[in-house]
Amino acid sequence: MRVPLYQVAHARSGDKGDGSNVGLIANSPEIYPLLLEQVTAERVKEHFSQVCKGKVERFEVPNLLALNFILHDSLGGGGTESLKTDAQGKTHGQGLLSLEIEVPEDVPKET
C-alpha cells in the first residue's frame, strides 16, 4: 500500500548556506530499508522541483535509521539575503514527509 512518509518516518530540516538539509528518520528498523530503496536523491529532487534549483545529495546514517539530504540552492539566496518567508528551509522537513512510498500492509503506521 502507498502511504505518505509522515506515517512511517519523521524529519527535521535547517539551512546549509543557500541550501537546506533534511534529515529523514525511519520510525522502526523494518521501515529503514524501504526508505533506502525508495527515497532516492532523484525522487526528492522531483518532489522539491519548485523549491530546489540545484542538485540533491543523499547521505546514509544507518545507526540512526536515517537519511540526510542536502537540497542545494533552495533558499532564494539564503540567510539574510533571501526574500522568502522560509529563508532557512525550516519547513522542508515537513514538506518531505508528504512524499508517498510503497509499504507492506503489516508495517506499523501513524494515522
User: φ and ψ at 64, to 5 degrees?
Assistant: -105, 10
Among 30-38, 70-78, 101-109, the segment contacting other proteins (CB under 8 A): 70-78
Nearest CB to other proteins, comparing residues 83 and 106:
83
Interface with other proteins: number of residues (CB under 8 A): 45
**Residue 44 sits in the site that holds other proteins (CB under 8 A):** no
Give me the least distance between CB of 5 and other proteins, in Å please: 10
Residue 5 sits at φ, ψ, to 5 deg, of -55, -30
Quote the CA–CA distance of 111 and 109 in Å, as a whole number: 6
CA distance 17 to 99: 24
User: Does residue 95 touch other proteins according to CB under 8 A?
Assistant: yes
Q: Which three cell numbers stand for residue 111?
A: 494515522
Question: Interface with other proteins by CB under 8 A: which range of 33-41, 82-90, 101-109?
Answer: 82-90
